[in-house]
Chain A
């Protein structure tokens, strides 16, 4: 965190290399967050570029009230929300339904030992199955699950990024997981 502030301070003084170091450090995080919410690699790449472009132009207005990463996540999430709103006016079809093959693959992975995973299932296929499950969720749930499960943020950090209370973070995550559980109900024996 201190390192980020130092790099940002250097960049504000005109050090371009400091900005490049920040980009190098966070590009994977920003890209994967966007991809998990938007579900399209090309668009995720383009939006990630826009996020860093905004960091470049708005760095001067960042007063350090939160950590740099929280600020970066907030820009990223806001940009994703904008994109999802734009999409509401377009017809975009996501793959959200599992076929029998997907279900069996996921079951195999979950019952197998960790070491066997790569042998049993190609990573790309598993990636698609998880993304299908995410695509089936409403945007709010997709965002909060991404921040928790992909980015590993704490509840406090999520509340700062999404500008909601800690109690809401707790409830929203609970509901998002319930919806995901319903989507993956084929994994569980009927109660």
Chain B
């Protein structure tokens, strides 16, 4: 087993979460590997830091405030008590509204606008046709 694998085991060893067999292998390895032995000491020190951490108290009257909150929640109108759900529902309806408005405008744009474009093009085609006829007259004399 490599030192890297033993180092993963070291972390679990500190938490007393390795099997007897793993422990035996690890302790044998530690007898011969100064790097892993040093690593174990560092990890012990890091674990020790958390033991120095003081437990903090929540702010005053935690239970009283909590019970007041529960009581108020009970008094709230249904839509307020379920406001997050209500908010989501409003958002979904709004998105649907935008989609419908978007679809209507899309239709307006693509079903009315093309007619204008085509008529513009027709004028251009007409002009181009006349221009071609003029050219033919210049080269071959009056048509017909």
Contacts and interface: CB of A to CB of B under 8 A. Distances in A.
14 contacts: A23-B62, A23-B63, A27-B58, A27-B63, A28-B55, A31-B57, A32-B56, A35-B56, A45-B58, A110-B45, A145-B50, A170-B17, A181-B43, A184-B49
Interface of B: 7-8, 11-12, 15, 17, 35, 38, 42-43, 45-50, 52-59, 62-63, 65-67, 69-70, 73
B62 A53 contact: no
A53 B70 contact: yes
B54 A49 contact: no
B16 to A, nearest CB: 9
Contact of A174 (B8, B57, B73): B8
B50 A150 contact: yes
B57 A20 contact: no
A52 interface: yes
B66 A49 contact: yes
A24 B46 CA distance: 31
Main secondary structure of the interface of B (DSSP, over half): helix
A104 B69 CA distance: 45
Given A32-B55, A155-B15, A174-B8, A110 B63 contact: no
Given A23-B62, A49-B69, A110-B49, 10 more contacts: A27-B63, A56-B70, A127-B56, A149-B50, A174-B7, A174-B8, A177-B46, A181-B43, A184-B49, A188-B42
Contacts of A27: 58, 62-63
Interface residues of A, number: 43
Nearest to A50: B69
A170 B6 CA distance: 12
Contacts of B54: 123, 126-127
A162 to B, nearest CB: 15
Nearest to B18: A170
Contacts of A145: 50
A154 interface: yes
A119 interface: no
A53 B73 contact: yes
A148 B53 CA distance: 13
A117 interface: yes
A17 to B, nearest CB: 11
A164 interface: no
A53 B56 CA distance: 21
Given A20-B67, A31-B56, A49-B62, A170 B8 contact: yes
Nearest to A166: B17
A44 to B, nearest CB: 7
Interface string A179-191: 0110010011001
Given A149-B47, A174-B8, A41 B59 contact: yes
Contacts of A45: 58-59, 62
